[in-house]
């Protein structure tokens, strides 16, 4: 045990077998401060028990992790789990914009209705607390995204800006966080919300830009760049994102929303140039393909509110990208097994016609 005791000793982490959720779980358990973590994860195509392997390899950490395979939209599973914890951190989501364009319904089920089920379970616990049946009401942290602001052509989004989501994914995420906020306003539930920017790092599912391009490039496969590739994203290393969420969990003011920026704004072309350089692969792998419909041109957020809470990111982009590229080179079993199975159908549906009609990317 360390000296600094965390505010919450028992956590329910939803989506803890996904990319950012598993990083949060690995980092919290590695603190070795006695925190107990229950993960609920549906193990969709994006969930992977192997993401928690480092925890399960350490008996002390493994003893403090309980894994439940289940759906956050199922109140019979969620209710008893929330009863046992002091805080709920909701990472669980359908998270890929392109899949939301192909098939939006799953996004509404998990990213909106699933949030509702979790909030209702927290509200029941708040009522138990009011009856003296538990020591405190649970805190609920909703992990949201910069995409709820929509495309930001200039300047930076602030927490009170209007939400203008433009894809089924970001609209569902906006719905989920607005619902969470309404439970603070209406029922006085202890709710905090984070809006993170584009996250990258180890264990990132290969459907997303950086891991898709790194793993395709390792195999000398084509890299499908949408449109002119001059869209801009602000890149945040995964352990910085998970750390910021932990900081807001501990320090965030109830009812407040916090932007988590990366402060590493790059065009997609810049990102691809850097990762190809790190892999020593040629630009000729890159193909210009038909753009994503409704493609947001740029995201950028101001995160001085989070800074004033005492949080700063640690990882510079080029260092983080080099560590990420190295991780994909060293962990080929991890991504090659994902790229078998369901992946093949998805890849054909998303990229088959696009690559067939692709042109030189300049
Ligand atoms: P991910 O797709 O890698 O992981 C999502 C996890 O949720 C998976 O393990 C999946 O099995 C699980 N899940 C999906 N539906 C579920 C359900 N109904 N019940 C239980 N578990 C379910 O996503 P990620 O990139 O780790 O994102 C985590 C969260 O962070 C999401 O809420 C996402 O919207 C948000 N976010 C992501 C980014 C990013 O760049 N990746 C940036 C900002 C915010
Ligand atoms: O094949 C591709 N080609 C391409 O040009 C893919 C997959 C992406 N892109 C472009 C689209 C975007 O401009 O790269 C950029 C990044 O795309 P994604 O990795 O799909 O991320 P994005 O759409 O920006 O959303 C991400 O950040 C915010 C996460 O997937 C979301 O979960 C998070 O909320």
Q: How confident is the model at residue 298 (pLDDT cuts 50, 70, 90)?
A: very high
DSSP code for 358: -
Task: Provide mean pLDDT across the span 158-185.
Answer: 98
In eight-state DSSP terms, residue 65 is E
How large is the angle between the packed helices 19-30 and 238-251, nearest 10 degrees? 70
Q: Among 92, 152, 233, 299, name the best residue to mutate to test ligand 2's pocket (greatest count of ligand atoms within 8 A of Cβ).
A: 233
Q: Which residues lie with the beta carbon below 6 Å from any ligand 1 atom?
A: 14-15, 17-21, 40-44, 46-47, 71-73, 91-95, 110, 114, 143, 145, 173, 196, 198-199, 205
Average pLDDT (172-186) is 98
The pLDDT tens digits for 246-278 are 999 999 999 999 999 999 999 999 999 999 999
79-88 burial, b if ≥16 CB within 10 A, otherwise e?
eebbeebbbb
Q: Which of 110, 204, 208 maximizes ligand 2 atoms within 8 Å of its Cβ, making it the mutation to test the pocket? A: 208
Dihedrals phi, psi of 297, to nearest 5 degrees: -75, -40
Cα separation of 10 and 84, whole Å? 8
Percent of residues, the chain, with pLDDT higher than 70: 99
Question: What pLDDT sits at residue 4?
Answer: 73
Q: Which of 182, 322, 255 is nearest to 174 (CA)?
A: 182
Q: What is the pTM of this model?
A: 0.98
Residue 307, pLDDT score: 98
Q: What is the dihedral of CA 355, 199, 138, 169, to 10 degrees?
A: -30
pLDDT tens string 103-148? 999 999 999 999 999 999 999 999 999 999 999 999 999 999 999 9
Between the CA of 357 and the centroid of ligand 2 the distance, in Å, is 20
Angle between helices 115-130 and 168-187 (to 10 degrees): 10
Supply the mean pLDDT for the chain: 97
Separation of CA 191 and ligand 2 centre (Å)? 28
Cα 219 from chain centroid (whole Å): 26
Is 167's pLDDT higher than 60?
yes
Give the C-alpha separation, 137 to 22, whole Å: 25
Confidence grade of residue 91 (pLDDT, cut at 50, 70, 90): very high
pLDDT (tens digit per residue) in 59-87: 999 999 999 999 999 999 999 999 999 99
Q: How confident is the model at residue 3 (pLDDT cuts 50, 70, 90)?
A: low
pLDDT for res 315: 98
Q: Is the pLDDT of residue 2 over 50?
A: no
3-class secondary structure, 331 = coil
Q: What is the pLDDT of residue 47?
A: 98
Model confidence at 28, pLDDT cuts 50, 70, 90, reads very high
Q: What is the mean pLDDT of residues 280-299?
A: 98
Tokens matching residue 20: 């950012």
Dig out the tokens for 172 from the structure.
């569902």
- Reduced 3-state DSSP string for 32-61: CCCCEEEEEECCCCCCCHHHHHHHHCCHHH
Which of ligand 2's atoms lies nearest the C-alpha of 295?
13
Q: What is the pLDDT of residues 222-248, one digit of tens each?
A: 999 999 999 999 999 999 999 999 999
CA-wise closest residue to 152 among 1, 298, 269: 298
Q: Is-catalytic flag, 146?
A: yes
The one catalytic residue among 71, 94, 156, 169: 169
CA gap 258, 271 in Å, rounded: 26
pLDDT value of position 153? 95
Q: Give the per-residue pLDDT at 126.
A: 98
In the predicted structure, residue 1 carries a pLDDT above the cut 60:
no
User: Each residue of 182-197: pLDDT tens digit?
Assistant: 999 999 999 999 999 9
Catalytic residue among 94, 125, 146, 156: 146
Please report, in angstroms and rounded to a whole number, the separation of the first and last CA atoms in the chain: 55
Instruction: For residues 22 and 9, give the distance between their C-alpha atoms in angstroms, rounded to a whole number.
Output: 18
Provide the Cα torsion 73, 75, 80, 85; round to 10°: 50
Q: Which ligand is nearest to the CA of 272?
A: 2
What the block records as the tokens of 241 is 């994102």
């Amino acid at each position: 045990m360390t000296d600094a005791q965390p505010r919450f000793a028992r956590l329910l982490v939803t989506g803890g077998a996904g990319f950012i959720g598993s990083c949060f779980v690995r980092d919290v358990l590695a603190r070795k401060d006695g925190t107990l973590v229950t993960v609920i994860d549906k193990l969709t195509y994006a969930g992977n028990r192997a993401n928690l392997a480092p925890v399960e390899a350490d008996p002390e950490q493994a003893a403090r992790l309980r894994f439940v395979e289940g759906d956050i939209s199922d109140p019979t599973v969620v209710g008893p789990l929330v009863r046992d914890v002091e805080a709920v951190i909701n990472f669980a989501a359908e998270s890929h914009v392109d899949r939301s364009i192909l098939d939006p319904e799953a996004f509404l089920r998990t990213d909106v209705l699933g949030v509702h089920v979790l909030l209702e379970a927290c509200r029941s616990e708040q009522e138990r607390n009011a009856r003296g049946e538990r020591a405190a009401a649970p805190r609920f942290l909703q992990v949201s995204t910069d995409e709820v602001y929509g495309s930001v052509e200039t300047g930076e989004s602030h927490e009170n800006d209007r939400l203008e989501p433009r894809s089924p994914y970001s609209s569902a995420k906006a719905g989920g966080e607005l619902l969470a906020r309404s439970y603070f306003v209406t029922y006085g539930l202890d709710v905090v919300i984070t809006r993170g920017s584009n996250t990258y790092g180890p264990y990132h599912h290969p459907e997303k830009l950086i891991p898709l391009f790194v793993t395709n490039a390792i195999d000398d496969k084509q890299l499908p760049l949408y449109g002119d590739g001059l869209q801009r994203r602000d890149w945040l290393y995964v352990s910085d994102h998970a750390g910021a969420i932990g900081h807001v969990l501990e320090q965030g003011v109830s009812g407040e929303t916090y932007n988590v920026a990366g402060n590493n704004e790059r065009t997609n072309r810049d990102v691809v140039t850097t990762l190809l350089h790190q892999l020593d692969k040629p630009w000729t792998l890159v193909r210009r393909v038909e753009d994503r419909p409704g493609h947001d041109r740029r995201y950028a957020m101001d995160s001085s509110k989070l800074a004033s809470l005492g949080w700063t990111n640690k990882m510079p982009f080029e260092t983080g990208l080099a560590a990420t590229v190295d991780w994909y080179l060293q962990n080929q079993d991890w991504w090659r097994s994902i790229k078998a199975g369901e992946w093949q159908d998805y890849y054909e549906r998303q990229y088959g016609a696009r690559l067939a009609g692709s042109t030189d990317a300049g």
